[in-house]
Amino acid sequence: MAQPLFTLAFERTPARIRLAALGFVGLFAALAVRLVAFGLAPAEPRAASPDLVQRTRPDIVDRNGVLLAKELKAFSVYAEPRRIIDVDEAVEGLVEVFDDLDPRDLRRKFTSGSGFAWIKRSIPPSMADRVWSLGLAGIHLRHEPTRVYPNGAAAAHVLGAVDIDNRGLAGIEKWIDATTAMHEPASARAQADLDAQPVRLSIDLRIQHLYAEHLRRAVETYGAIAAAGLVLDVTNGEVIALVSLPDFDPNEPGLALHPDRINRMQVGRYEMGSIYKALTTALALETGLFTLGSTFDVSRPLAIGGAAIDDFRGKKRILTLPESFIYSSNIAMGRMALTIGAERLRSFLMTLGQFDKVRTELAESSAPIVPSRWSDVTTATVAFGHGIAVTPLQSAMAVAALVNGGDLITPTFLADGGLEARLRARNVIKPATAEAIRDLMRLNVEQGSARRAALDPIRIGGKTGTSEKVVRGTYSKDKVMTFFVGVAPIDAPRYLFLTILDEPRGLPETFGFRTSGWNAVPVTRQVMGEILPLLGIRPETVIAR
């Protein structure tokens, strides 16, 4: 058989080489199919390594399960300047997506020679898709959650806020970071996220909204510069509502940095004025040195060490102890305190938690300003709420102990948080003393400075307080703060309301008066009238009782 004149190189190649060549052809064919599949698939925003992503923050809900804070999916854009091929293309593309970016700033970042630069934080998936579609070398997406507060400013001082890196800055958000491993390794994070339960607060969003709206109207009506409100369950210390105005929207946490937007209930420190007369009266009865039948001559100012203590619109006659309470006599309280003695007064206030910081789930809290030296004048003035500055939440905790039968309970912002760990002291006063204080608070609403709080047939008890503000080291005659503590129902106390107005003005309808009985008291009555039914305290339930 004749031999062919020539043969193909492939035919002359050994069999094993031909087999390897076929293998390479198959591999490249598979890669081509895979690349086509990637090209046809919908664009998926690229994210950083899972190890760089912190675990999901739990939802925050109110006591009824209403959503207060939630984490949503978002992305952030970053650049690797050294990997950018066409700076002009990158700048033009990104400015087209984000019209608030400065082209000159972008160009500076992209030509800096650095290895990393943030472009835009916390953008929604729709914008992330647009960035991905640009197909820019050196421009990447990182999956980063964003925190959303659907109710805006409602309960802002309780919720707090998070920073751009989703870390708690204040309030319950900061508490979550402190009590939960929010930044643990990815290996443990997946199961932790599955197990995460919403943080259920003691706050009732309905009550929060109502109180805030009443306070906003009060600020406008009385020309006050600020206001605050609190609803506290005296049986377990749960805070049902906490309002502090001006407030802020936690969706824009930078607004919280303004000094006017502090949490006035737990950070502000004020001389609580005649609210402290409830504490002094309780101690006077508790010691046995005074009874409800004791009398005091208030016809002349109380002279102590060159100082003279007088009453505001005093009766200028002999008053019984109940009259001293409902007419809010500074002279009578000073006389009681001097008889009791400085040490016993200090010890009692210390027992009621007035000398140390109230520690709740909210890290934002202030220590009281306590006199360093206790002269007779100090003893007398502290008895009616001057010379000592505490947080309003601190004073509310003490009054709650007086009316609930003697249990001093640290307030909490968590629902069903357990009472035993927060029970600071039992029987701080005798049951008979607690009953007497409740009767005096009821009498004050019937006949005294809190008459405008009457909400019959629901029996309300309360105590007013007005204090002159300290301006540049001296008491101002023009600026006051007014307080009112209302308790309902006073025969079986359940809820304490505390209203504060900062620098209210006298009005023609208040005959020019700006004391608590003319502003904080009627505001609280309106608040209680709307809120108590929502809390299950209705006229028919009180009558049935």
What local confidence, expressed as pLDDT, does residue 257 receive?
A: 79
pLDDT band at residue 477 under the 50/70/90 scheme: confident
The average pLDDT across 136-164 equals 90
pLDDT band at 17 (very low <50, low <70, confident <90, very high): low
92 or 487: which leads in pLDDT: 487
On the question of pLDDT at 63 being above 50, the answer is: yes
The pTM score is: 0.82
- Mean pLDDT value of segment 168-191: 73
Q: Using CA atoms, how far apart are residues 230 and 217, in angstroms rounded to an integer? A: 16
The single-letter DSSP state of residue 451 is G
**Which of 216-230, 294-308, 348-362, 529-543 is predicted with the least confidence, judged by mean pLDDT?**
529-543
Give the pLDDT confidence score for residue 47 in this predicted structure: 40
pLDDT at 416: 87
Would you state the torsion angle of the CA atoms of residues 443, 382, 389, 176, taken in this order, to the nearest 10 degrees? -60
Structural domains present in the chain: 74-144 (3.90.1310.10), 205-544 (3.40.710.10)
The single residue of 76, 244, 274, 467 carrying the catalytic annotation is: 274
φ/ψ (deg, to 5) at 183: -125, 40
Q: Is the pLDDT of residue 100 over 70?
A: yes
pLDDT in tens, 114-143: 888 888 887 878 888 888 888 888 888 888
Q: Give the Å distances, CA to CA, from 295 to 313, 318, 333.
A: 19, 6, 11
CA distances from 78 to 127, 228, 252 (A): 14, 43, 22
Here the tokens at position 7 are 């043969």
CA distance 40 to 502: 65
Distance (Å, whole) CA 436 – CA 441: 9
Question: 264-279: per-residue pLDDT in tens?
Answer: 999 999 999 999 999 9
Q: How far is CA 133 from CA 41, 94, 212, in A?
A: 13, 11, 46
Tokens representing 433?
């003393």
Helices 276-287 + 392-403 axis angle, to 10: 40
Q: Which of 61, 214, 229, 254 is closest to 149 using CA atoms?
A: 61
Highest mean pLDDT, choosing among 177-191, 246-260, 348-362: 348-362
Our answer to whether residue 76 is catalytic in this structure is no
Query: What is the distance between the alpha carbons of residues 437 and 10, in angstroms, rounded to a whole number?
Result: 109
Peptide linkage before 322 cis (omega within 30 of 0): no
pLDDT for 3: 53
Q: For residue 449, what pLDDT band results from cuts at 50, 70 and 90?
A: very high
pLDDT score, position 180:
79
pLDDT at 44 over 60: no
168-170 and 199-200 as β-strands: parallel, antiparallel, unpaired? Answer: unpaired
- State how far the alpha carbon of 333 is from the alpha carbons of 292, 346, 372, 373, 544, in Å: 14, 15, 21, 20, 38
Q: In the predicted model, what is the mean pLDDT of residues 12-39?
A: 57
